[in-house]
A and B are shown apart, each in its own frame.
Chain A
Amino acid sequence: GQQLNQSPQSMFIQEGEDVSMNCTSSSIFNTWLWYKQDPGEGPVLLIALYKAGELTSNGRLTAQFGITRKDSFLNISASIPSDVGIYFCAGYNAGNNRKLIWGLGTSLAVNP
């Protein structure tokens, strides 16, 4: 099945550092979503993006919907230990039985 190219695959950073990750696709999406999965839990929505070029923030998180509609970026500023987890991007187009197309995830570890 189709999957998005998400990078990096993993990151190990020091507390206080900024983090950037991105997702690319060979096809266009109308909606991009970013999720976080805490250890032992299911993914939880962080940010949803609906318009090309859109830049949306949620606290220390900022995500952008690429102009080409084939990519999206997530930045985390001033990382803290509770940012640890797996971050997933997902693309969505209406009419696909509401199925999301997923990236493989970015695993983030934060050293206090």
Chain B
Amino acid sequence: NAGVTQTPKFRVLKTGQSMTLLCAQDMNHEYMYWYRQDPGMGLRLIHYSVGEGTTAKGEVPDGYNVSRLKKQNFLLGLESAAPSQTSVYFCASSGAGTPRDYTFGSGTRLTVV
């Protein structure tokens, strides 16, 4: 049982380049989330999805887009990367029961130069 899988684990981009981060979960969870983690700033919610085909903005959505075409996958896109988007990105998923099933992936470390 893999849980939440994020790819890639590491990436270096040049300013202006685009990329997509993939999150896949095998727990049949309805809810999926993308966070970014920066030193001293905790976990900040970028976008989230409450089900297949839905997306919504979180706390820091600017510069990112997301898609949830399949229930098990949640994609995070950067159309034109900026150095301010250098961060560690975490995906999480949750079912419809108690929040104790909230499960995180192991993260993607992105550096924009």
The minimal Cβ–Cβ distance linking B87 to chain A, given in whole angstroms, is 14
The answer to whether A33 and B41 touch across the interface, beta carbons within 8 angstroms, is: no
User: Which residues on B are within 8 Å of A, measured CB to CB?
Assistant: 4, 31, 33, 40-45, 48, 50, 56, 58-59, 90, 92, 94, 96, 98-100, 102, 104-107
Q: Which residue of A lies closest to B100 (CB)?
A: A48
Q: Is A28 an interface residue (CB 8 A)?
A: no
The answer to whether B42 and A42 touch across the interface, beta carbons within 8 angstroms, is: no
For residue B94, which residues in chain A have a CB less than 8 angstroms away from its CB?
Answer: 98
A55 to B5, CA, bound (A): 33
The answer to whether A105 and B105 touch across the interface, beta carbons within 8 angstroms, is: no
The minimal Cβ–Cβ distance linking A104 to chain B, given in whole angstroms, is 4
For residue B42, which residues in chain A have a CB less than 8 angstroms away from its CB?
Answer: 3, 88, 102-105
For residue B102, which residues in chain A have a CB less than 8 angstroms away from its CB?
Answer: 33, 45, 98, 100
For residue B50, which residues in chain A have a CB less than 8 angstroms away from its CB?
Answer: 97-98
Q: Sample 10 A-B pairs with CB under 8 A, ordered by A number.
A: A1-B44, A33-B100, A42-B90, A42-B105, A42-B106, A43-B43, A43-B104, A48-B100, A99-B45, A104-B42
Residues 48-98 of A at the B interface (beta carbon under 8 Å): 48, 50, 88, 92, 97-98
